[in-house]
Chains A and B, each alone.
Chain A
Amino acid sequence: MPGSRAPTITVRTADANETQRLAAALADLLEEGDLLVLSGDLGAGKTCFTQGLGRALGVTDRITSPTFTLANRYEGERTLNHLDVYRIEQLSETLDLDLPELLEDGITVIEWGEQILPVLGADLLIVRIRHGEDADHVSQQTDCRVLEFEPRGPAWNPRVSALRALASGWSSC
């Protein structure tokens, strides 16, 4: 659907702990039926982010990457659906996940979800995670992460400014 796309909102976190605290803070903005699409290389911290989010949603079970099971559901104070579609090679395979039904309940996080955007509908928040560089660009060996939020669709329009507010006040590493 055409329309003006909200600009992306960038946050830097110093380490995994801070990434999880950011995810937890984001949880306060989330509503039933929300969909988060996580993208980033292997090891970027997608599952780490989801664990922080899950804790904030009251999930006590250990959250692990569902790369081989495709989808896990966690019941906390709120429900968290955690999907990983890395192994999906054709959009038609997403039919088996029954996404429209799954997305009805709770908050859904889809790792590698950008590759199935055509079946995800208009309303979603893309979270891109990548390694940050040291200030002097000398080393990639840092825990620093750059998170880029891209809110899309009418469900996120009213929350863009809240998202911006959330994004300020984190480490700049």
Chain B
Amino acid sequence: MEPAGERIARLGFRLVVVLILGITSSTARVGVAVGRIETDSVTVLAETTSSDDRRHAEDATPLMLEALNLAGVTVQDIGRLAVDVGPGRFTGLRVGFSTVRALAFALDLPVTGVSSLEVLAAEQGPTAQVPVASVIDARRSEVFQQVYGPDGPVGPPLVGPALDLAPTVPGNAVALGDGADRYLTLYSDRVAVVSGREPSPSWLLRLAAFRPALDAANVEPLYLRDPDVQINIRTRHA
């Protein structure tokens, strides 16, 4: 198959550009964006997001078709894919991944995965004076949390009770994400909270565009709570 970039160039673009499609699905809001990668910039052509409910599976494909339509391109024009790898909702991530993998396998496209926490932080733009704590609701009083400074993550992504993780956010930071919204008092007691933020598919594209793209089989969701212990079946009958 002719690479999409060459195909687009052959169709009359002066610059060799590649179109990228990205899906975010680690929170209640599913998002799709389509953008154009040029030499050193990304132009977002269209972005669609779902309402905040739990219909990930129903939402992903129509949102994708709508974004392609708004961008005035077809899925065959896409040359690269991006996916939000989490951490976040397991069911949402599975829908995002299955959609992206299906496209990747069908159209032979490479995929770049980006952490949902990093996408959140990137939109805010952390600085040395104002680091960003990305906080995603992990359910049952827990959150996924990571702090970003101007040079990237300050520490690893964490999962744990909001009660324990909120106090670890530096005092000069801003906290954002659906976890900070849900456990607002825990965070706002300590730092400024920017409310209503969800991982943005446009920012997913901006981060993914200049990173290596992999074979879809090599891009994995980041669950953070992977339970990998083998249960001894005999304990059932003890």
Contact = CB atoms under 8 A, between A and B. Distances in A.
Contacts of A88: 231
Given A95-B223, A121-B140, A100 B231 contact: no
A94 interface: yes
Nearest to B227: A91
A101 B138 CA distance: 8
A119 interface: yes
Interface string A162-173: 000000000000
Contacts of A112: 236
B140 to A, nearest CB: 5
A92 B228 contact: yes
A86 B233 CA distance: 9
Contact of A115 (B138, B141, B235): B235
B99 interface: no
A104 B229 contact: no
Interface in A85-109: 86, 88-92, 94-95, 98, 100-101, 103-104
Contacts of B226: 92, 95
Nearest to A100: B139
B140 A103 contact: yes
Interface string B198-238: 00000000000000000000000001011111110101100
B123 interface: no
26 contacts: A88-B231, A89-B231, A89-B233, A90-B228, A90-B229, A90-B231, A91-B228, A91-B229, A92-B227, A95-B90, A95-B223, A95-B226, A95-B227, A98-B90, A100-B139, A100-B140, A101-B54, A101-B90, A103-B140, A115-B235, A116-B231, A118-B227, A119-B225, A121-B140, A121-B142, A123-B140
A70 to B, nearest CB: 15
A66 interface: no
Interface of B: 54, 89-91, 138-142, 223, 225-231, 233, 235-236
Nearest to A90: B230
Contacts of A115: 231, 235-236
Query: Which of the four size classes fits the interface of chain A?
Result: 20 to 34
Contact of B227 (A33, A103, A119): A119
Interface of A: 33, 86, 88-92, 94-95, 98, 100-101, 103-104, 112, 115-116, 118-119, 121, 123
Nearest to B91: A98
B58 to A, nearest CB: 16
Contacts of B54: 101
A103 B89 CA distance: 13
A46 to B, nearest CB: 13
Contacts of A86: 236
Identify the interface centre among B141, B142, B223, B230: most chain A CB within 10 Å of its CB: B141
A156 B209 CA distance: 48
Given A103-B139, A112-B236, A123-B140, A94 B227 contact: yes
A143 B182 CA distance: 47
Contacts of A103: 139-140
Nearest to A114: B235
A101 B225 contact: no
Determine which residue in B139, B140, B230 has the highest number of CB atoms from chain A within 10 A of its CB, and name it.
B140
